[in-house]
Amino acid sequence: MKLQVILTSDAAPAARQGYDLDLTAGPVVLGRGPESPIQLEGTQLSREHLAFTAFDGQLALTDLSSNGVWLNGQPLPKKTAVLCGPFDEVRMAGYTMTARLLTPPPPPQPETPPQTQQRIARTDDIPAPVIPQPQPTLAPVPAWWKLDGLEKWTLILAAIAIALVALYRMG
């Protein structure tokens, strides 16, 4: 399976580079080490920082570093494979990337001979159309409800104070 990586360096965000890597021989490990297929630079990067693995037709990431890898803003657990989607953002020290598996097209399917038996549609086979029901509209929220917590409590306490004064004068 092929892995496509689009890499952006934080030092040059306008310069994006694309790489096609081969996952058929096993995991692809990125880092600053000489055996990394993409040479990454930075003192915050480990020699083996991040591993990509194909897992049941899906892409998995494993954080091998001591400084961390983030997937969509969330830190990855250390040394644990996590599935990654084609639009997920992977960040590590000084770099942002997206990665996806390039799957080969499916083999062509043999043509099936046309059916010789015809089926006549009956009206009870056709489902009734679904008529969308109008959604009830909600009343607009009163302006006083949009107040923050302190302002709401001030209004509530003021109303209680007015009610207590009124009860005191009545009694």
| Whether pLDDT at 132 is above 80 | no
Tens-digit pLDDT profile for residues 54-74: 878 888 899 999 999 999 999
Give 91's contacts (C-beta < 8 A, 6+ positions apart).
Answer: 69, 70, 73, 97
Give 100's contacts (C-beta < 8 A, 6+ positions apart).
Answer: 3, 4, 59, 85, 86
Pick the CATH number of 2-102 from 3.40.50.720, 2.40.50.140, 3.40.50.150, 2.60.200.20: 2.60.200.20
Note the pTM of the prediction, 2 decimals.
0.58
Q: Can you say whether residue 144 is alpha, beta or left, with left for phi > 0 and alpha for psi between -120 and 50 degrees?
A: alpha
- The residue ranges of every structural domain in the chain are 2-102, 143-171
